[in-house]
Protein backbone atom coordinates (compact mmCIF):
# COMPACT_ATOMS: atom_id res chain seq x y z
CA UNK A 1 0.00 0.00 0.00
CA UNK A 2 2.73 2.47 0.98
CA UNK A 3 4.76 1.57 -2.11
CA UNK A 4 1.79 2.39 -4.33
CA UNK A 5 1.42 5.75 -2.56
CA UNK A 6 5.11 6.57 -3.02
CA UNK A 7 4.97 5.57 -6.68
CA UNK A 8 1.89 7.72 -7.28
CA UNK A 9 3.44 10.70 -5.50
CA UNK A 10 6.72 10.32 -7.41
CA UNK A 11 4.85 10.14 -10.72
CA UNK A 12 2.97 13.34 -9.86
CA UNK A 13 6.22 15.16 -9.06
CA UNK A 14 7.83 13.84 -12.25
CA UNK A 15 4.85 15.03 -14.31
CA UNK A 16 5.10 18.49 -12.73
CA UNK A 17 8.83 18.67 -13.49
CA UNK A 18 8.22 17.54 -17.08
CA UNK A 19 5.50 20.15 -17.50
CA UNK A 20 7.76 22.96 -16.24
CA UNK A 21 10.56 21.78 -18.54
CA UNK A 22 8.25 21.84 -21.59
CA UNK A 23 7.01 25.32 -20.65
CA UNK A 24 10.63 26.47 -20.61
CA UNK A 25 11.28 24.91 -24.02
CA UNK A 26 8.18 26.60 -25.47
CA UNK A 27 9.33 29.95 -24.18
CA UNK A 28 12.77 29.41 -25.66
CA UNK A 29 11.37 28.41 -29.05
CA UNK A 30 9.78 31.83 -29.46
CA UNK A 31 13.11 33.66 -29.37
CA UNK A 32 15.93 33.90 -31.90
CA UNK A 33 18.99 32.09 -30.57
CA UNK A 34 22.65 32.97 -31.02
CA UNK A 35 25.62 30.75 -30.16
CA UNK A 36 26.06 32.10 -26.62
CA UNK A 37 22.33 31.75 -25.94
CA UNK A 38 22.48 28.02 -26.68
CA UNK A 39 25.20 27.51 -24.06
CA UNK A 40 23.14 29.50 -21.54
CA UNK A 41 19.98 27.54 -22.38
CA UNK A 42 21.80 24.22 -21.90
CA UNK A 43 23.02 25.34 -18.48
CA UNK A 44 19.47 26.41 -17.54
CA UNK A 45 18.10 23.03 -18.65
CA UNK A 46 20.71 21.20 -16.59
CA UNK A 47 20.08 23.40 -13.55
CA UNK A 48 16.31 22.88 -13.78
CA UNK A 49 16.72 19.12 -14.17
CA UNK A 50 19.02 18.96 -11.13
CA UNK A 51 16.66 21.13 -9.06
CA UNK A 52 13.68 18.96 -10.00
CA UNK A 53 15.60 15.79 -9.17
CA UNK A 54 16.59 17.22 -5.78
CA UNK A 55 12.93 18.11 -5.13
CA UNK A 56 11.85 14.56 -5.96
CA UNK A 57 14.51 13.07 -3.66
CA UNK A 58 13.52 15.45 -0.86
CA UNK A 59 9.87 14.43 -1.21
CA UNK A 60 10.76 10.72 -1.16
CA UNK A 61 12.82 11.20 2.00
CA UNK A 62 10.00 13.20 3.61
CA UNK A 63 7.46 10.50 2.81
CA UNK A 64 9.52 7.66 4.33
Please, which residues have CB within 8 angstroms of residue 41's CB and are 6 or more apart in sequence? 28, 33
The CA distances from residue 42 to 2, 16, 20, 48, 51, in Å, are 37, 20, 15, 10, 14
The pLDDT tens digits of the residues spanning 1-42 come to 566 776 777 777 777 777 776 776 666 666 655 556 665 666
pTM above 0.75, yes or no: no
Q: What does 36-50 look like in DSSP terms, one character per residue?
A: HHHHHHHHHHHHHHH
Amino acid sequence: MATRYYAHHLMRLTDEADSRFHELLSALDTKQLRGNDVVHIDSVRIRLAVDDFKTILTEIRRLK
